[in-house]
Structure 1
Amino acid sequence: MKLAYDLSFTHTEGRWAAPGSWVGTSYPDHRMFTELAVSAERAGVDMLFFGDGVGIPDTWKGSLDAAVRWGIQWPRQDMSPVIAAMAQHTSHIGFGLTYSSTYLHPFYVARLMNSLDHVTGGRIALNVVASGRLSDAANYGFDALLPHGERYELMEEFVDVCRQLWASVEPDVIVADRTTGQYGDPAKVHPIHHRGKHFAVRGPLPSVPSPQGRPVLVQAGSSPRGIAASAAFADVVFGVGGHREWQLRHRAALDHELVAAGRDPAEVGILWAVQLIVAATAEEAQRQRAAMLDQLSLEGIGTYLSYNCGFDFSRLPESFVLGEVQEQIEAAQASQAGFVSQLVDRMGADARISRAEFFDEGWRHATGYDQTIAGTAEQVADELQEQHEATGARGGFMVTNPGSMPGALDQVSGLLVPELQRRGLRPDGYTEDTLAGTLLGRPLR
């Protein structure tokens, strides 16, 4: 069972105010992340992960005011320098970093990730995302989103260019002959001469190959087109948690696409998103879970849902049909696998729901209340083991926590991980030098 910690939201959606959170400092102080990295490595956690977006949520009422007021998906720093800092205090734990293939150029990202793989000693992963939010698009000069399918088409070319660039310089390029003065072998450096629909890149990369050769590639698409993109290039997939039937369908669809792409489904695991509260007693865990519902205001809930679905829910009438709202979301080329899709999946496209019922459901979704597993280490391990085995025992979990930073995740490290090790679900320590070795058990191809 692979285990990663998602640190994307340790300070947003009210978590900054959780008892004991960010004591003596505030986001984005890298020392807090370094402290957690050292603790997580001591427990043998595989990877620390950072999602990202460059826009401030402004879908709710067409304004960013509520996002700033309540700290909804804001503020967000580029975490690459923080990862470089954490790497200096750790030796084995990996780091996942997110960049958008929709707006960034593959040459820039390929060079940056090559450098980070060097800095971390072969412990870096790239999470490639197809940006589906207007606030991100506006920061790169776009007035509308690219069509959903085109974003994934662009992503596949983006990754193809990156992979060509990472392979454009051979590992033994450096000669460093002090007698002759020759430094490198030009026969080992190869321009790629890529000219595609979206990118034209001559190459080669002006860098020496990194310890892994390239970063581990992560992708999180859960729509049919997104799953096809995952099958095309992802080493590890990031999947939506909290809904067993949804997960089983995702796993089956991914396996189908992997076979179609000529890849072995056994080699591509899914890290399911899961929110955990682990405490010494079940009563304390449930008390912490109940407190989650008080972390956000109604406006904060609306801001979160609107941003992540790409639809202004402040405009909802007193009652409406779920499928009609979903059609509007899809027509806007926004998220096709978000909260509304999950409601449609559970209640049906023809279901009529009141505005009050919608926000009641949304409150539990936005806080993660319904998706949170809370209990003792034994109780949580039981649930994770059952879910892991039910979904094919390939991959593991991407853990978030609604509580304090870093204390609540330290509870996961200190209480849950030893229980998983006792059951033989986790190793007692690291046996590989690279993140690819740790997550995949093999070198990258």
Structure 2
Amino acid sequence: MHVAFDLSFTHTEGRWARPGSWVGATFPDVGMLQQIAMTAERAGMHLLFFGDGSGIPDTWRGSIDAAVEWGVQWPRQDMSPFIAAMAGVTRDIGFGLTYSSTFMHPFYVARLLNSLDHVTGGRLAFNIVASSRSADAANYGFDELLEHGLRYERMEEFVDVCRALWDSVPADAIIMDRGTGRFADPSRVRAIEHRGRFFDVKGPLSAMPSPQHHPVLVQAGNSPRGIAASARFADVVFGFGGAVASQQRHRRALDEALVAEGRDPQTVGILWAMQTIVGNTPDEAETRRAEMLSYWSEEAVGAYLSHNAGFDFSRLPERIVVGELAEQIAAVQASPGGLVGALMDEYGPDHELTRAEFFEHGWRSATGLDHTVCGSPAQIADALQDNFEATGGRGGYMFSSPLPTPSGLNDIAELLVPELSRRGVLAPRTPGATLRENLHP
């Protein structure tokens, strides 16, 4: 197994306020993040991952008020400078940075990631997202979201441009002959002359080739269109944890799509999202789980669900048909996955539930109870080994904690990861190697 920390929400949804949180420092103190990085590296973890979103959730009731009041999915920083700082106090652990292909320009992102790959010594991953949140779109001048399939078309072209730019200055183009003063061979450095549906980019990239040449590419889409995009370019897939049957369907669909793209399914792992509560004993873990359940108010749950779906669930009627709700969400170009997608998988499109029942499911989704594993290190390691085997044995887990930071993360790094290592199921991390080498299945 390869194991990572998802650090996207170390400070939101009340984690900053509870016993076990930092004393005398608050997000975004860079020293806090450096301490987390050093703890994870000592434990033998492979990656620190940062999801991102640039808008304050405003879908619930058409207002940012609930999200602002309860700290739901905000604040969020651009993590690129923080990654540079964390790289300075570590040597081997990798860093995953997220940018939106829906809003960003590929030349800017390709150049930035090239620079960060230099700074980290070849330890950078790029998580490419197709944004489905109206709060983000409004900050980039979009009055409405792009159609779902169109977002993935733009993503694929975005990646094509980035790859071409990274290839436009190959390593063997750099001569640096001190005797003659020649820096590079101009015959090896060429414009890409890209003319596409979404982007026109001349190139070449105005940067030195980086240690990995291409950063590791991560993609998280689990819709059929998202899986097709993953199969086209992803080195590693970020998958949603929870029901084993859903994970198995994702793995099968990805394998079929990889074969259709002429790629070997054995070379592409899935890192499954796994919210984790570890205690020295099962009772201690259950006590900590009970603490977590008190973090959420009804307004916080509504803000969370609506933001992540891109649909205002405050407007739901008293009775809901799951398939009809999914159609309404798709009609406004929001995300058909998430909670509603999970309900479709579990119950089918004709299933009817009350508004109260929907929000009961939503509460479990927002708190992460639907994909939380809780117990002693041995119990959780047993569950992970069973799940890893059942879902194809390629990839691993992206651990997050609903508990205060750093105590929840420290429990994972200092209790669970050593247990996996003792069992011989933790993938070895080669000191000094690039992230690509260390994440290879």
TM-score calculated relative to the size of structure 1: 0.97
2:161 paired residue number:
161
2:250 paired residue number:
250
Q: Deviations over 1:26-73 (max 9, x none)?
A: 111111010010010001100000000111100000001111001111
RMSD of Structure 2 on Structure 1 (CA): 1.1
- My pick for the range that moved more, 294-303 or 315-324, is 315-324
1:318 paired residue number:
318
1:288 paired residue number:
288
Identical positions, percent: 63
Letter in 1 for 2:93: I
Alpha-carbon distance, 1:173 to partner: 2.7
1:306 paired residue number:
306
1:292/1:369 contact within 8 Å kept: no
- My pick for the range that moved more, 314-323 or 6-15, is 314-323
1:118 paired residue number:
118
| 1:89 and 2:89 matched | yes
- Please show how residues 9-408 of structure 1 align to structure 2 within 5 Å: 9-408=9-408
SS in 2 for 1:384: helix
Q: How many residue pairs end up in the alignment?
A: 441
2:426 paired residue number:
426
- My pick for the range that moved more, 253-262 or 331-340, is 331-340
Aligned mates of 1:378, 1:19 — CA distance in 2? 25
1:47/1:95 contact within 8 Å kept: yes
Alpha-carbon distance, 1:177 to partner: 2.8
Alpha-carbon distance, 1:215 to partner: 0.3
Letter in 1 for 2:81: P
Alpha-carbon distance, 1:291 to partner: 1.8
SS in 2 for 1:48: strand
Aligned mates of 1:23, 1:365 — CA distance in 2? 29
Aligned mates of 2:236, 2:257 — CA distance in 1? 14
- My pick for the range that moved more, 21-30 or 298-307, is 21-30
Letter in 2 for 1:11: H
Aligned mates of 1:111, 1:239 — CA distance in 2? 27
Alpha-carbon distance, 1:432 to partner: 5.3
Aligned mates of 1:440, 1:431 — CA distance in 2? 14
Q: Deviations over 1:198-250 (max 9, x none)?
A: 11111000111000011000000000000000000000000011111111100
Aligned mates of 2:73, 2:262 — CA distance in 1? 38
Letter in 2 for 1:332: V
Aligned mates of 1:278, 1:337 — CA distance in 2? 28
2:429/2:438 contact within 8 Å kept: no
- My pick for the range that moved more, 236-245 or 364-373, is 364-373
2:412 paired residue number:
412
Letter in 2 for 1:118: H
Aligned mates of 1:292, 1:95 — CA distance in 2? 27
SS in 2 for 1:263: coil
2:48/2:95 contact within 8 Å kept: yes
Alpha-carbon distance, 1:344 to partner: 2.1
TM-score calculated relative to the size of structure 2: 0.98
Alpha-carbon distance, 1:428 to partner: 5.7
Alpha-carbon distance, 1:179 to partner: 3.1
Aligned mates of 2:6, 2:216 — CA distance in 1? 16
Q: 1:414 and 1:428, CA in 2 relative to 1: closer, same or farther beyond 3 A? A: farther
Alpha-carbon distance, 1:372 to partner: 1.1
2:91/2:432 contact within 8 Å kept: no
1:44/1:430 contact within 8 Å kept: no
